[in-house]
Amino acid sequence: MDRLDGFARSAWERVRSGYYSVPASRAPHPTRSLAKAVRERRGRAVVAEVKPRSPTEPDLLRGRGVGELARAYLAGGAVGISVLVDPDHFGGALAYLRELAGLGVPLLAKDFVVDPAQLEAYARAGADCALLIMALFRRGHTSRGPGEMIDRAHALGLEVLLEVSSAEELEEALGTEADLIGINSRDLATLELDPRRPAAVLREVAPRDPRPILALSGISSPEEVRALREAGFAGFLVGTALLRAPDPAALVRELAAA
């Protein structure tokens, strides 16, 4: 069993345990469009991530609160906040969505989605967009296919960022109703990074599609952002580099201005 299979198994355990059976947020807010926010930045959109830990780094918050980090990201010009929901491998929590729902920017719920119950929990907790992973559908880990899962997300008022990692997956994603598409430089089976993958996949497919396409994972410098923007990416999801940075707001500002 590789890493992605393990993430999927843990997600199913959380579904069965009732982890996603949460009450609605006490302060519901109008859904905010991440796709629109990315488009408006014209290739300079940074989606900044709140991630307490990872399978390789046990403490990324280093005593900071998720609200403190999110406000720093917004001060630097982030167009949205990616919020880890998986508590088992990334220290995430649905409560983080509720805590950040009042910030006035789109929130992306980042998790390993295998069942619509998870989407329902994100909507109740205040998310605006949900991450779906094409590889989970292709491996048979989900209770619904991508089309049905995207339809369910839309019915709940959520946009969908559909993650891919190959040209074949990108071709399939382009045939769905996902609102945004992301190309990951990280192999979720091994967690290894290949910074060249997003541009190579986009170049191979060369999609003529109005939807924003984001580069995901492993981005840490203005030079990388410039190269990816020139390759055709509309935005960039950045996590670990911001969490390691002594001044997260300054790094967001540098990346957004690259």
Alpha carbon distances (Å) from 185 to 45, 60, 105, 162, 255: 18, 20, 25, 14, 18
Query: pTM of the predicted model, to two decimals?
Result: 0.96
Find, among 58, 55, 103, 56, the residue nearest to 82 by Cα.
103
Report residue 199 as tokens.
Answer: 């541009």
Write out the chain's pLDDT in tens, 258 residues: 699 999 999 999 999 999 999 777 655 567 799 999 999 998 999 999 999 999 989 999 999 999 999 999 999 999 999 999 999 999 999 999 999 998 999 999 999 999 999 999 999 999 999 999 999 999 999 999 999 999 999 999 999 999 999 999 999 999 999 999 999 999 999 999 999 999 999 999 999 999 999 999 999 999 999 999 999 999 999 999 999 999 999 999 999 999
At 45, give phi and psi (nearest 5°). -90, 125
Q: What angle do CA 197, 164, 51 make, to 5 degrees?
A: 90
For position 56, what pLDDT does the model report? 87
Find, among 144, 35, 123, the residue nearest to 79 by Cα.
35
Secondary structure letter of residue 42 according to DSSP: T
Report residue 202 as tokens.
Answer: 């986009």
Residues 6+ apart with CB under 8 A from 153: 119, 130, 132, 159, 160
- What's the rounded Cα separation, in Å, for the pair 186 and 192? 6
Domains of the chain, start order: 3-16+31-257 (3.20.20.70)
Report residue 128 as tokens.
Answer: 């605006």
